[in-house]
Structure 1
Amino acid sequence: MIRIEAKNVIFREVQQPRQPLLWIIVLSIAAFTWYGFIRQVILGLPFGNKPSSNAVLIIIWMIFGIAFPIMMLKWTKLILEVQEDGLYIRFTPFHFHYKKFLYKDMESYKSINYSPFKRFGGWGVRVNFKGEMGYIMSGKQGIELTLKYQTVVISTYKPDEIIKEMDTFQKSNL
């Protein structure tokens, strides 16, 4: 994929899901659809009291038994990049382009420890009752950006390194 707006990437971090509960849920759903598929389509035994047609079961199996687990556990990632003009993030496969938070729009930023459940109700792209936006992949560390128009929290494994790199370039963009 080519990014037309590419600047010099100073720091890059790629996060993938680590939560055991997420793995258990996704793989349990996949296992259940595999069981239904094998039982009804392969062995010819009806799956459930009111079994659906084989075509419907095959579609459900393809979506929840194959595509969904691959998408959630393989392709889902949060990419953070510190560039010369700001912080760029992309939550794949949900964002098609990088979301940019430019230094000129930031009032402040800081490293924080927080609870994704208490502050945002969980992981993913979230908005809480205060109107704060969260891009949360895993962990309890992050960066809080206070922008001119809202507050944004981004999870990160290395908040101090990101802050250090942002400090270097933020001062030169004033």
Structure 2
Amino acid sequence: MRVFREVQKFRQWWFILIIIATTCVVFYGLFEEYKEVEKESSTDLITFIVSALFALLVIAIIFIFKLETKINEQGIYYGFWPFQLKLKHVPWSEIKKIYVREYSPISEYGGWGYRFSFGKHGKAYNVSGSTGIQIIFKNGKKTLIGTQKKEEVESVLKTYQHKLLHT
């Protein structure tokens, strides 16, 4: 039994730079606001602390996002944690066609992350790059899952192509 497994996280240098810059701006604004509040007011202090903790929580959540993909003889499993705590399983019997393709994250899906288009492209789960596993379901719906391991995915999909023909 051949198994493909991939875990991707948001770790692009430009993404981290945007997060750091945004964090600096938010904390600078919070600090400037805090300098203006009345020091005797516990409500203002609590508001400042809650705002700072919320900003830190958002940053932490972004860094724990992960896209997980697994392909084996039962089908394909994928999920975007923490939105999906359990991987979604798609058995081979529900798939009409599956292949690896190049795509444009911005023009087809509006960027990276958990995305969907209201047109012909369907859903996308992607973290970076422009290579994905295109799934076309028997019901006509489409899902694209980003990958950084093009050759490895293609090899594993060849192993299971017969599953599509016999379902």
TM-score normalised by the chain length of structure 1: 0.80
Q: 2:22 aligns with which of 29, 52, 63?
A: 29
Equivalence map 1:63-102=2 (5 Å): 63-64=54-55, 66-73=56-63, 75-102=64-91
Aligned match of 1:58:
49
Structure 1 pair 27–9 and aligned structure 2 pair: CA distance change class (3 A): farther
Structure 2's unaligned 5+ residue stretches are 38-42
Where does the alignment leave 5 or more consecutive residues of structure 1 unmatched? 1-7
Aligned to 2:40: none
Percent of paired sites with the same residue:
26
**Is 1:13 aligned to residue 2 of structure 2?**
no
Cα RMSD (Å) of the superposition?
Answer: 2.3
> Per residue, is there more helix in 1 or in 2?
2
TM-score norm. by structure 2 comes to 0.83
CA distance in 1, matches of 2:12, 2:104: 14
Aligned CA distance change for structure 1 residues 125 and 9 (closer, same or farther; 3 Å): farther
Residue 113 of structure 1: CA displacement? 0.7
The 1:9–1:98 alpha-carbon spacing in structure 2 relative to 1, beyond 3 Å, is farther
Deviation at 1:127, TM superposition (A): 1.1
1:116 aligns with 2:105: yes
State the Cα distance separating 1:39 from its structure 2 match: 4.7
> Does structure 1 conserve the Cα–Cα contact (< 8 Å) formed by 2:92 and 2:163?
no
Report the equivalent of 1:158: 149
Contact 2:7 2:68 in 1 (8 A): yes
The ranges of structure 1 where at least 4 consecutive aligned residues each deviate by more than 6 angstroms after the TM superposition are none
**Partners of 2:29 and 2:47 in 1: CA distance:** 11
Deviates more, 1:8-17 or 1:32-41: 32-41
Distance in 2 separating the partners of 1:12 and 1:54: 47
